Amino acid sequence: MKKQSGVLQRWDDERGFGFITDKKGRDIFVHVSAFGRIRSRPKAGEKVLFRVEPDAAKGVRALEVERRWRPAHLLLPEFLFPLLLVGVFYGGFWLSFSENAFRFFLLLFLFFVAALTFIMFGLDKRAALNEAERVPEKTLHLLSLSGGWPGAMLARPLFRHKTRKQPFSAVLWLVVVVNITVLGVFIFSSQAAPLRDWLDVQALSWLIALKEWGLISRPI
């Protein structure tokens, strides 16, 4: 059964329960345990997603309750840390390749893969809510391994998706370590110097072509 939406109309924080009003106007009992691990207590007026199950005493009760995304979620620690990590990564990348012509094209590729990964996480979250066909975890990991892990890091807390699931989380962090390690070797290894030089030549030829087409005006 897919999740339905409602509003937490009444909430007794001391006793840890309340009632969700669904779209049909029914009041559905909900206990604080149905929210899982939470950093802040529920409050009346919050929009939620939930499933229902029969209950001998209450008729039905809500379970697997999920608070709908709101702008305040951007200030949560679980989102701020990935945001800081992603910002440091892209900033360090740009500075590390300051002398290389190919940095613009490589960064553009990384942005594209990260955006695609972010979108795929969002689609998988929606599919999970609607009990539709899911995006395979292997696809999400391959996108992350291809350089899209910043998109995964931002999507997980924002969509509240795959944040605690194991071994998915452990594999994702391993992917991050592998990506940063490989990039570090590429930047600082003398063995990778011929590859960096070759990429610079290719990038310069593209930049010259873009300048001739009038697409860029800055000096090359």
Residues 131 and 22 in one domain: no
Its pTM surpasses 0.85: no
Asked if the structure places residue 220 within a domain, the reply is: no
Each residue of 13-60: pLDDT tens digit? Answer: 889 999 999 988 999 999 999 988 766 788 888 888 898 988 777 788
Count how many domains the chain has.
2
Residues 29 and 82 in one domain: no
Which pLDDT score, from 0 to 100, does residue 138 have? 95
Residue 64 DSSP SS3: strand
Residues 117 and 166 in one domain: yes
Residues 54 and 139 in one domain: no
Region of poorest pLDDT, from 121-125, 163-167, 190-194? 163-167
User: Taking 80 as the threshold, does the pLDDT of residue 121 lie above it?
Assistant: yes
Rg (CA), the chain: 23
Of the residues 34, 67, 100, the one at which a domain ends: 67
pLDDT tier, 74 (very low <50, low <70, confident <90, very high otherwise)? low
User: Taking 60 as the threshold, does the pLDDT of residue 75 lie above it?
Assistant: no
Residues 46 and 110 in one domain: no
Residue 150: domain span: 71-212
Backbone angles phi, psi at 111, to 5 degrees: -60, -40
Across residues 78-85, what is the average pLDDT? 86
Residues 183 and 198 in one domain: yes
Mean pLDDT, the chain, rounded, equals 87
Tokens 């899209």 found at: 148
Of the residues 67, 85, 103, the one at which a domain ends: 67
- Of all residues in the chain, the percent with pLDDT exceeding 70 is 92
Cα separation, 124 vs 174, in Å, equals 21
Asked if the structure places residue 218 within a domain, the reply is: no
Residues 40 and 60 in one domain: yes
Asked if the structure places residue 181 within a domain, the reply is: yes
Each residue of 157-188: pLDDT tens digit? Answer: 888 788 777 899 999 999 999 999 998 899 88
Region of poorest pLDDT, from 72-86, 106-120, 135-149? 72-86
Residues 79 and 170 in one domain: yes
Cα separation, 112 vs 102, in Å, equals 16
User: At residue 116, what is the residue type?
Assistant: L
Please name the residue ranges forming H helices in 31-167. 77-96, 103-130, 137-143, 149-159
Asked if the structure places residue 217 within a domain, the reply is: no
Asked if the structure places residue 49 within a domain, the reply is: yes
Which pLDDT score, from 0 to 100, does residue 152 have? 96
Which pLDDT score, from 0 to 100, does residue 180 have? 92
Of the residues 39, 67, 95, the one at which a domain ends: 67
Asked if the structure places residue 103 within a domain, the reply is: yes
User: Taking 80 as the threshold, does the pLDDT of residue 215 lie above it?
Assistant: no
Which pLDDT score, from 0 to 100, does residue 76 have? 66
Q: Where residue 17 sits, what CATH number does that domain have?
A: 2.40.50.140
Residues 24 and 76 in one domain: no
Cα separation, 147 vs 114, in Å, equals 7
Cα separation, 159 vs 123, in Å, equals 10
Residues 75 and 124 in one domain: yes
Which pLDDT score, from 0 to 100, does residue 71 have? 57
Asked if the structure places residue 219 within a domain, the reply is: no
Which pLDDT score, from 0 to 100, does residue 58 have? 75
Asked if the structure places residue 115 within a domain, the reply is: yes
Residues 82 and 129 in one domain: yes
Across residues 132-145, what is the average pLDDT? 94
Residues 127 and 27 in one domain: no
